[in-house]
Every structure is written in structure tokens, then in C-alpha cells.
Amino acid sequence: MPSRRDVLAVMTLGGATALAGCAGTLADGSAGRDTSEDWPQFRADAANTGANLDATGPVDDPDVEWVHLGGPWYDMLEPVVTDAVYTVDDGVAALDSASGDVDWRAGDSYTRHTPAVAGDLLVPGDPIRAVARDGGRSALGRRFDFRRWETTIDADTSLTLHDEVVLLGGVADSGTLATDVVALETATGEIRWTTTGSVEGAPATDGEAVYVATDGRDSATALLALDARDGSELWSRRLGEGGPDVPVVLGEGLVYVPRDGSLRAFDTATGDAVWTFTPDGETRVSASPALAQERLYVPTSAESSGLVALDAATGERLWAAGDGPYRCSPSVGDDGIYAVDFDGRLSLHWRDGPAQWRVQVDAPVASSPVPSDGRVFVGTRDGLLYALGEHE
């Protein structure tokens, strides 16, 4: 069995630069990366890459270490993992990553979207709140009001953090119920700017431009590039009417959009179409890809070998592996690619495709896997969060 050092060596072959250590750059094919914390927001970073090579998961066959029950009537969303594991269902809970014990729980507002960590914990509910990461506890164990700020925005996507700004799709005007692109100050919740349009997933940004798929233009979806300073439109491209309605992914000079069962790549500067990947037969791209070291890892609806690796620059198909069908995006850590199919088969793949291990989670999954601190976390459709780690 390859060692972790061997895995890291394999994952850097052919790559011009490494993912870790490039905070705030696009050098490796990802944007806006912050490697100071393992998984601080939805899909790991502001580019929605679903990758952080500083994040470690289990390399050997894992066991279930603990299971957290949220609300059994809620899907368990992708958690964020920093100093604790933060989950949401009918509120927000901070869990100890080693034991699964609840450190604190607060709130009574259900959210359908993943929170984010930007100093405070930002919770995308109705309204959006910033809360203290200690749950409002003092040194004496007393509790105080844990809310830092809250807005009148009703979040309709997960949050995208970049520097001092949080981006999302949200209802800014309760009279219209339109889902706008909204930029907020992370420190105060003050609105910087909004734009109109029905947002399809969490925005992606490199700090210069914001990329998002929106609905409502001639009954078709459009890919928009917005100026990150004021939300003004830089360019737009019509995409068509077919789903899935998932976030775009931002890479080195390209933005990737799953649409009509295919994955399409557009030039970030001009909006020109660069390439399209369409799976064979009736197989469809089913969620956003993960992006790491010039490769895309694409989930598809194929019943077997449903995880497809593409060259990020050209769209060339490199390999297909894994189980299937996949309905959630894969994730990349320093150990390889973590993928989980709809029936709960969780697997770790090397960069060249073969699976190192497979384990069964006893429920259909609702979230992408999140590797962190030697564990991998995954949520299910019956409200459970599983933490899996290596054998002792």
C-alpha cells in the first residue's frame, strides 16, 4: 500500500505548482485559497474547488468513529471544519471533531445551506447571522448573546468568503422574493452591493470578478461575470435550460459550469466557450466537479465508473473510476480524491484513478465528503453526520 508520502508524490507528478501555500493566487488552478484552516466554507474556498491539499483524511480503511444526529427530517448538509465541526439543521451546532460531542448549540432557524468561518461563524439562514465561535461562553462558563450581527437578507445559497466580503444568492427585497447576488461586509453584515437575477448556486470569485449562474433571462440560465467591487456586469453567456442547478467552479483562466448534462468551460476574461465535456450515452454530469492541480474530478450519473477525471485546460478525458451514480461533488485532500455515491459508498481514489478503499455508509448521502485532521465527514438524507477515521 502506498504511504502518505507516496500519495503526495503521485499527486504532484506533472503539476506545475502545488495547491498548498498559494493563498490568494490562481497559480495551481484554484482561486482565493486560504490554507490556514482545513475546510472553512462550502466547497473549501472562494472558487468552489472542493479541494485543499492541507486537509488530511483517512488513507487506510476507515471505521465510523461517531455519528451525530441532527434533525431526522432534514438532510445533513456539508459541514465546515476548523477548530470544531460546524453543522446546521434547525439551528447551528459546534461538535468536537474527535468525539462528536456537542460543544454548543444555538438558534431555532432552519437553514438549507452550509455555514462559513470568517473569524466569527456566519450562518446562512433567514436572516443571515454572524455568531461567536465559542457559542457565547465567557471564561467563567456563563453565556451571553452570541450574535455579532444579523441582516435582513434571506440566504438562498451557501456563503462564499473572500477576504473581507461574503457573497451569496439571497432575497434582499421581501416584496419581490427575487434571489439576488449579494455582497456583504464580513465584519458588520453591511450590504456592499446587490444585483438582480435568480441565483443557481454559491458564487465563485478570485477577488477581481464574481462568477455565478442565474436563471430568469428568457427562461434560460445565464453565466454572469460581475465586477467584485460594485457588482456591475462584465459579461454574460446564455447556458440553456437544463440542470443541475449547482455552483460554478473557478480555475486558472477558466470557469466551469455543469449544464444540460455536460460540463462547459468558459474563458474568465471574455466569456468565450473553450470546451465542453459530454459523457457517453444517457449519462449526465450530476454535480459540480472538484478542481486540483490542473485536473477536474467530475461526478456523473453512470451506474459504475461514475467518477471522471478531465484535464482542466482542455477537457480531455483522463480516466473513469469509482462506483455510481454520484449526486454530490467529490472533494480533494492531501491523500487523494474522496467521493461518495448516492447509495452511501464512500471511497478514496489516488490521482490516477484506482480506489484505495471503499466503505458503506448506511444511508443515502446528502453532502460532499469533507476531509480534515485524519477524518472524513459526510452527511446523509436522514439527518446524520458520519465521521470516519483510520483504525487505531
Across 9-18, 80-89, 141-150, 206-215, least confident range? 9-18
pLDDT for the residue 15? 29
**Three-class DSSP category at 7:** helix
Report the amino acid identity of residue 153.
I
Higher pLDDT: 140 or 389? It is 389
Can you give the residue range of the structural domain that contains 113?
4-390
Higher pLDDT: 170 or 386? It is 386
Higher pLDDT: 70 or 45? It is 45
- pLDDT one-digit tens code per residue, 55-69: 999 999 999 999 998
| CA pair distance 75, 340, nearest whole angstrom | 15
- Read off the C-alpha cell for 72: 431526522
| CA pair distance 9, 76, nearest whole angstrom | 34
Residue 243 has pLDDT above 80, yes or no: no
| CA pair distance 233, 133, nearest whole angstrom | 35
- pLDDT one-digit tens code per residue, 210-232: 999 987 555 568 899 999 999 99
Backbone dihedral angles phi then psi of residue 226, each to the nearest 5 degrees: -120, 150
**252 secondary structure, DSSP code:** S
| Average pLDDT rounded to a whole number, residues 255-273 | 96
Give the pLDDT band of residue 23 (cuts 50, 70, 90). Answer: very low
Give the pLDDT band of residue 233 (cuts 50, 70, 90). Answer: very high
| CA pair distance 165, 88, nearest whole angstrom | 22
pLDDT for the residue 155? 84
Higher pLDDT: 358 or 220? It is 358
- pLDDT one-digit tens code per residue, 141-176: 444 456 788 887 888 889 999 999 999 988 766 555
| Average pLDDT rounded to a whole number, residues 26-54 | 73
Question: Is 2 buried (19+), middle (13-18) or exposed (0-12) by CB count in 10 A?
Answer: middle
Residue 196 has pLDDT above 90, yes or no: no
pLDDT for the residue 145? 54
Structure pTM? 0.87
Q: What is the CATH number for 45? A: 2.130.10.10
The answer to whether the beta carbons of residues 108 and 89 sit under 8 Å apart is: no
Q: How many domains does the chain have?
A: 1
Q: Which residues contact 219 (CB under 8 A, 6 or more apart)?
A: 241
